[in-house]
């Protein structure tokens, strides 16, 4: 269903009724801000599946609720942060059909590929780089010489039809050269590393902190300026020492981390942010 001016406001273009079709849902003398009331009413309509395919545009909502554009934008921002709708600058809002929050366990060498598919979503990637390169900083993290050749893979990870993460992986080239022929648009690094190179990664260390992505990163992830992300940095061990260094930027509105704890062991929380 496409929402036109007439369908949402109940008026013809160029005709003003003074009140939009949904203005009666707003209590202007109540304690709740107008944006919160618009937000709540839109959530109700979404739950009732009133928007089967399309979602009203910003201007249509302004007229439907008879409120300011700023009020509508704030309500849409909240819906976007909740992962309910997708709305970007210059783009018409749309329902985030099938969007689910991906949950990963702490303390486990997980595969993002497997976690996405466990949610019943198609996992695929847009490969931005697949090459051999040198990087002294990363080489040091892998306990290699500064000039050591590294396998490098950079992908935008999709869950369903929407971006989930920007993923960058480095491996020692002498270990991972057989992966240069792999189509990583729909497979996992760990799966191919074990199948083609005979290497299974073990434990390691990982740090996770919240960040606001840069403008370029937001463009790749399809998020607005107010949506935070998880920055995940991982170094995993192979049979003979460090074998993987990875930096992943995951959308905060589509991702959660989970931990199991007990009264005996519990888990350690590092408040300084250092490894």
Q: What average pLDDT does the segment 139-168 reach?
A: 93
Please name the fold of domain 5-95: Arc Repressor Mutant, subunit A (1.10.10)
The SS3 of residue 48 is coil
Rounded CA-CA distance 247/207 in Å is 10
CB 151 within 8 A of CB 172: yes
pLDDT in tens, 27-76: 888 778 898 899 889 988 887 778 866 788 889 999 999 999 999 988 88
Q: In angstroms, how far is the first alpha carbon of the chain from the final one?
A: 51
CB 243 within 8 A of CB 237: yes
CATH number, span 102-258: 3.40.1410.10
Task: Judge if 5-95 and 102-258 fold alike in CATH terms.
Answer: no
Where exactly are the structural domains of the chain? Answer: 5-95, 102-258
Residue 12, pLDDT above cutoff 70? no
């Amino acid at each position: 269903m496409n929402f036109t001016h007439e369908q949402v406001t109940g008026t013809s273009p160029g005709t003003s009724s003074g009140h939009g079709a949904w203005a009666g849902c707003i209590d202007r003398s109540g304690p709740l801000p107008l944006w919160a009331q618009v937000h709540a009413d839109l959530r109700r309509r979404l739950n009732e599946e009133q928007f089967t395919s399309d979602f009203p545009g910003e201007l249509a909502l302004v007229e439907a609720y008879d409120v300011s554009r700023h009020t509508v934008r704030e309500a849409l921002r909240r819906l976007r942060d909740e992962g309910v709708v997708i709305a970007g600058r210059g783009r018409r809002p749309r329902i985030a059909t099938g969007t689910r929050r991906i949950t990963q366990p702490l303390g486990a060498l997980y595969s993002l590929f497997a976690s996405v598919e466990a949610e019943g979503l198609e996992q695929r990637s847009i490969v931005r780089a697949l090459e051999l390169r040198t990087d002294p900083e990363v080489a040091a993290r892998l306990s290699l010489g500064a000039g050591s050749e590294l396998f490098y893979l950079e992908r935008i990870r999709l869950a369903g039809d929407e971006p989930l993460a920007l993923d960058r992986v480095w491996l020692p080239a002498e270990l991972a050269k057989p992966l240069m022929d792999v189509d990583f648009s729909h497979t996992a690094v760990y799966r191919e590393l074990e199948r083609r190179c005979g290497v299974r990664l073990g434990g390691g260390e990982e740090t996770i902190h919240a960040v606001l992505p840069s403008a370029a990163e937001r463009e790749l992830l399809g998020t607005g300026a107010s949506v935070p992300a998880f920055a995940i940095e991982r170094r995993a061990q192979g049979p003979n020492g460090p074998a993987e260094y990875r930096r992943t930027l995951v959308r905060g509105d589509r991702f959660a981390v989970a931990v199991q704890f007990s009264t005996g062991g519990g888990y350690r929380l590092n408040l300084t942010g250092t490894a």
